[in-house]
A and B are shown apart, each in its own frame.
Chain A
Amino acid sequence: AQSVTQLDSHVSVSEGTPVLLRCNYSSSYSPSLFWYVQHPNKGLQLLLKYTSAATLVKGINGFEAEFKKSETSFHLTKPSAHMSDAAEYFCVVRDNQGGKLIFGQGTELSVKP
């Protein structure tokens, strides 16, 4: 069975400092991986996706993620945090059999001024 584990439930950074949100995946197949963001009282917005092309994936709002097969990781990074980045972030793997999305527990990102 496929799964994702987000290693931190809460991350706090200062504005202008780097962001690292960690995610490990488990999959028997070459996975399709995503990061989604959820701002308060809003829906789930796609940040970026990995579907077995380049291992370094660039997304919206300056976010990137690197697929590392040897470490089964798909960590999300951003060089410099903005206040507007404060939100809940979800690492997600797509089920290869049925297409449904399997979500991690979420990481709440706080950005201090």
Chain B
Amino acid sequence: EPEVTQTPSHQVTQMGQEVILRCVPISNHLYFYWYRQILGQKVEFLVSFYNNEISEKSEIFDDQFSVERPDGSNFTLKIRSTKLEDSAMYFCASSLTFSNQPQHFGDGTRLSIL
């Protein structure tokens, strides 16, 4: 069964550094998402992406964050200048349609900011 893959599985970065989290969505999917889960808290929506542009973003997704689909397969989340509070598990998801198909998730990238 096709799956969403995320790399790296664990990223350790110094505060203030830039970090790029990478995702390869399921190949025929059209909608892409990033979520995050801070330890002990709910999974939170960050951003959705369709047709090469952001469809929706949450309040968390400020100017420090950006997303890109640089080619036909990768979908990346960049954090420009990381803060301690960015430490979390970041999940990428993709879906075939907007409404009646579920989102499929990768295994996540655990981001640790020192």
User: Which residues does A use to contact B, with CB under 8 Å?
Assistant: 32, 34, 36, 41-46, 49, 51, 90, 94, 98-106
Contact = CB atoms under 8 A, between A and B. Distances in A.
B102 interface: yes
A61 B59 CA distance: 36
B107 interface: yes
Contacts, number: 53
A99 B98 contact: yes
A65 B62 CA distance: 37
Contacts of B100: 32, 51
- Which 4 interchain pairs have the tightest Cβ spacing? A43-B107, A44-B105, A98-B56, A103-B43
A43 B55 contact: no
A105 B38 CA distance: 12
B76 to A, nearest CB: 17
